[in-house]
Amino acid sequence: MLRRLTIADFGLIAQADVTLADGLTIFSGETGSGKTMLLGALQFVLGGRADVSLVRSGGARARVALTVDPPPHIREWLASEGFPIDPAEDALLERELSAAGKSSARLNGRAATAATLREIADRVSEVVGQHAHQRLLSADFQLEALDRFGGAELLAQRGAVNDLFDRRATLAAEGARLREHLQRSNDDRALARFAVDEIAAAGLVAGEDVMLRARRAVLANTEKTSAALRAAYEALRGDDDPLGVAASALGPVARYNLRLAGLAETARALQSEVSDLAAAVAAEIDGAEFDPTEFDALTERLDALERLKKKYGGSMDAVFAARDRFEAMLEGDEARGERIAGLERDLAALDGELDRAGAQLSELRAAAAARVESAVRCELRELAMPNAEFSAALERTGAIGRDGFERCTFLLAANAGEERRPLARVASGGELSRVLLALVVTLAATEHARAFLFDEVDAGIGGATARAVGVRLHRLARRSQVICVTHLAQIASWADDHWTLRKRERGGATTIAVDHLPGGDERTAEVARMLSGESRGISAEHAQTLLREASAAKRGAAF
């Protein structure tokens, strides 16, 4: 429940401190006295618009604070959002707006955002005013109202349909993205397949180009190599044999000197190595023959490798890297194809699940529509529309949407013998106000208690109809806190708490004072003023009658 509203320099309100009681709280005042401005302050602190025009002329900043006693489920939500509140503690919402247009908000002394305040507002209050009249005419609002009336089971089923539809949309979007990617990459995929096949057909071996160039160099220089080998062989096998001569010379004297024996042995070893070297050179001479067929094959292979290197990166490593990249692309496309096939299977299963969930939602809505029609008709009869017929018509839209298969249209026949038509086509301002009130009262019976802020609920009505509206507001206030701005005495007489707003001019400046009317003569005078503009005489007597009747009805009548 909303407990206390403190206002400073907001619009024409220089200072106000309003205690908000349970039941029905009425704010009244002469035309232009700023009644709606007070509700504007409430909406501002609950996250509403912040415009510098809201700062009182000459003021540095507008400040509004609101104390709220949240019910348990709101306390749990606040704790989950990082704003825990002790069980015995109220929530204090504060918001400021500087003359320069800078806005700030706090929740129990901690910095908060306007969005957080709006979320709190959605949970603890509902504004019923001119904008609500327009919302009432929208198909989205009408479907939302019907679903809220349907209660927890219907809302849970609608949530299930929402979730399934969103899951389906996510899968469908992924499938579309994958198909688009595959479509765009057709040419790339063909190129990748060609490249992989071309590289695979080449049968590449790492380092092959280096080895082939070396072998071709050998073949290209066969003639030079052969000449060098023959020269070396002749030198090694020539007539002169210095190592043999040396070994023969040292042999006979080796037994006289150990050093000489070592030299003789070295000469013989070197002579043996030279013989081995000569044999090896001879073998190379035999193999050093130019093979034109091999040379041509090597050249052709190297040319093929060079073409691949030039085409795929300039080196053998780059060719192998390109092959791996193209293979990964093809594997990725194959995986995408498999994923698309899997998505299509999942979508088919999800479509069936969504259709079943949508059908269950439609059944629950049909039952809720019948109940809400009966309840709203009863309320309209009590709101001086005894012959009104109200319907919540459900129309199937074809393909299922996020909120199910159907749209809802509220139909009204305000008078006997009239055809039921959409509200926007048949309802006057007064009728629209009463239909909205009837819906609010009907919905309030099915939801968590919250504070209802009524502005312009009395538009286009008066007399007995105004009294009926007052009765209904009082009835609603027995379950929920109701705050109502009105200019009708018939409504104000049902107040459990009454405040009045008055303009005051001092020193050339205009301000609005918000005064509490605890009862007695002050309240009678205000109700009389609302009746005729006069606070005495017949108006006062009429006001006393209204107040006595309302008081007696509250004590004894069943609503």
CA dihedral 219, 224, 225, 230 (to 10 degrees): 140
Instruction: Kindly give, in sequence order, each residue whose CB lies less than 8 Å from that of residue 1, ignoring residues fewer than 6 positions away.
Output: 20, 22, 68, 69, 124, 449, 451, 481
CA distance 108 to 93: 7
Please check the confidence at residue 544 and state whether its pLDDT lies above 70: yes
- Taking only the tens place, the pLDDT of each residue in 109-145 is 889 988 888 888 888 888 776 566 677 778 888 998 8
- Taking only the tens place, the pLDDT of each residue in 407-460 is 999 999 988 888 899 887 876 777 787 888 888 888 877 766 678 888 867 777
CA distance 277 to 270: 10
Give me 154's structure tokens. Answer: 């219907």
Q: Between residues 383 and 232, which one has the greater pLDDT?
A: 383
Please check the confidence at residue 391 and state whether its pLDDT lies above 50: yes
Q: Are 414 and 431 in contact (CB under 8 A)?
A: yes
Give me 524's structure tokens. Answer: 């009678």
* Section 3-23 average pLDDT: 90
Residue with tokens 């041509």: 296
User: Which among 430, 501, 486, 490 is positioned nearest to 466, based on CA atoms?
Assistant: 490
Query: What is the pLDDT, as a whole number, of residue 249?
Result: 63
Q: Between residues 475 and 509, which one has the greater pLDDT?
A: 475
Give me 327's structure tokens. Answer: 């293979």
Query: What is the pLDDT, as a whole number, of residue 81?
Result: 86
Please check the confidence at residue 298 and state whether its pLDDT lies above 90: no
Q: Are 112 and 81 in contact (CB under 8 A)?
A: no
* Section 359-372 average pLDDT: 95
User: Which among 496, 449, 473, 484 is positioned nearest to 1, based on CA atoms?
Assistant: 449
Residue with tokens 């998505």: 343
* Section 455-466 average pLDDT: 77
User: Which among 45, 41, 51, 48 is positioned nearest to 98, based on CA atoms?
Assistant: 51
Q: What is the pTM of this model?
A: 0.65
Q: Is 56 exposed, middle or buried (0-12, 13-18, 19+ CB in 10 A)?
A: buried
Please check the confidence at residue 394 and state whether its pLDDT lies above 80: yes
Query: What is the pLDDT, as a whole number, of residue 294?
Result: 73
- Taking only the tens place, the pLDDT of each residue in 19-77 is 999 999 999 887 765 677 888 898 899 888 888 888 888 888 999 999 999 888 888 88
24 pairs with which residues across the strands?
A: 482
User: Which among 409, 453, 414 is positioned nearest to 434, based on CA atoms?
Assistant: 414
Please check the confidence at residue 158 and state whether its pLDDT lies above 90: yes
Give phi and psi for 185, each to the nearest 5.
-95, 15
CA distance 4 to 68: 7
96 pairs with which residues across the strands?
A: 63, 104
How does residue 254 score in pLDDT terms, banded at 50, 70 and 90?
A: low
How does residue 184 score in pLDDT terms, banded at 50, 70 and 90?
A: low
For the chain, give the percent of residues with pLDDT over 70: 84
Query: What is the pLDDT, as a whole number, of residue 498?
Result: 94
CA distance 513 to 61: 18
pLDDT, averaged across the chain: 82
* Section 189-209 average pLDDT: 77
Instruction: Kindly give, in sequence order, each residue whose CB lies less than 8 Å from that of residue 267, ignoring residues fewer than 6 positions away.
Output: 243, 246, 247, 250
CA distance 529 to 44: 30
Q: Between residues 266 and 120, which one has the greater pLDDT?
A: 120
How does residue 559 score in pLDDT terms, banded at 50, 70 and 90?
A: very low
Query: What is the pLDDT, as a whole number, of residue 288?
Result: 63
Q: Are 30 and 53 in contact (CB under 8 A)?
A: no
User: For residue 58, how far is the Cα from the chain centroid?
Assistant: 41
Q: CB count, 10 Å around CB of 107? A: 22
Given the DSSP bridges, would you call strands 497-506 and 509-517 parallel, antiparallel or unpaired?
A: antiparallel
Q: Are 244 and 271 in contact (CB under 8 A)?
A: yes
Instruction: Kindly give, in sequence order, each residue whose CB lies less than 8 Å from that of residue 271, ignoring residues fewer than 6 positions away.
Output: 241, 243, 244, 247
Length of the chain: 559
Residue with tokens 């909205």: 436
CA distance 184 to 169: 22
For the chain, give the percent of residues with pLDDT over 90: 21
* Section 229-238 average pLDDT: 65
Helix axes 208-220, 222-236, angle to 10 degrees: 70
How does residue 358 score in pLDDT terms, banded at 50, 70 and 90?
A: very high
CA distance 257 to 259: 5
